[in-house]
Chain A
Amino acid sequence: MSDSQELQVQQKREVDKKTEGTAPGRVFVPVTDIFETPEALTVVLEMPGVDRDSIEATVENDVVTIEGRIDFTKYEGLQPVYTEYNVGHFARSFEISNKIDQSKISALMKDGVVTIMLPKVEQAKPRKIQVS
């Protein structure tokens, strides 16, 4: 019953300075799972506060970059009195070894978790290797 395990807070990590954008403000590294099926590579990122229209995923030179922007105008008029975490946009890049069919990349957003499906191109799909 690994599911009854008690959840722990995962401290937000900041994006390295060298990859930071030009706008002021901190950018955070989303907590991420990556898994592979015979057809696709799937990247699942936790981006609380990011809506489906504020996500961008690009693949260039075998590097997949996913960015999510929060709508911080929702905080207008709110005066913080006690805080436990900070907020900001999210960004993360991964080098991928599989050849990806860029035209078929799709994204799904639910409850602040974005799932990016990166379908493999035909020749990158696995071949079974016979043990003789």
Chain B
Amino acid sequence: MFASFSDPFEALLTLQRALDARIASEWMGRGTAAIGSFPPINMFQKGDDFVAVVELPGVDKNDLEIEAKENTIRIRGKKTIAYGEQASVHRRERISGVFDRTLSVPIRIEPDRIKAEYRDGILALFIPRAEADKPRSIKVS
């Protein structure tokens, strides 16, 4: 964990380094996830549970569908770009289209209790780890 945000001046750099350090990491194990599929996903651990943060700028909440089953999460939808009739283009970099991505996580999760939040073009999925999968501390007698 990027220890603390006690120095706000350095905090962003610390976060960026922490994200870089886990780029395409082995955490997904032998799962099928790979960089390059849309949308890009970052996975975080928060205590026992997990949080997936997905960048989806320009996607309307109503065009977003999320399904979860066992340890897979499916994110699909469409992104539309509409400009007025009279618009003459100077530069076009944004792309529109459909997407459908399935993510298998290498942990047991509780698919029924996943919470999704979408704000400012960012989708956050709060993924609770299955009770049986959580580490238990073992008392030494």
Contact A9 B19 (CB under 8 A): no
Tell me which of A33, A49, A50 has the highest count of chain B C-beta atoms within 10 A of its own C-beta. A33
Q: Name A residues whose Cβ lies closer than 8 Å to a Cβ of B.
A: 2-10, 23-26, 31-38, 41-42, 44, 46-51, 72-73, 75-89, 109, 111-113
Known contacts A7-B79, A85-B55; A32 and B42 CB within 8 A of each other? no
**Residue pair A80, B120 in contact (C-beta under 8 Å):** no
Interface string of B28-51 (1 = CB under 8 A from A): 100001011111111111100011
Question: Which A-chain residue is minimally distant from B99 (CB atoms)?
Answer: A7
* Cβ contact within 8 Å between B16 and A32: no
- Assuming the contacts A72-B15, A80-B22, A111-B59, asked whether A7 and B38 have C-beta atoms less than 8 A apart, the reply is yes
B84, A37: Cβ atoms under 8 Å?
yes
Known contacts A37-B86, A75-B15; decide if A84 and B41 are in contact (CB<8 Å): yes
Give A118 to B88 CA distance when docked, in angstroms: 14
| Contacting pair A49 B22 (CB below 8 A) | no
| 5 CB < 8 A contacts A-B | A26-B13, A81-B45, A85-B42, A111-B58, A112-B122
Q: Determine the residue in chain B with the shortest Cβ distance to A54.
A: B120
Known contacts: A47-B121, A49-B120, A81-B44. The answer to whether A3 contacts B80 by CB under 8 A is yes
Q: Give chain A residues whose Cβ lies under 8 Å from the Cβ of B50.
A: 81
Q: Are A49 and B122 in contact (CB under 8 A)?
A: yes
Given contacts A31-B93, A77-B1, 8 further A-B contacts (CB under 8 A): A31-B94, A42-B87, A49-B121, A81-B27, A82-B28, A85-B42, A85-B55, A113-B121
Q: Mark B73-114, 1 if CB is under 8 A from A, else 0.
A: 000001111011011111111111111000000000000000
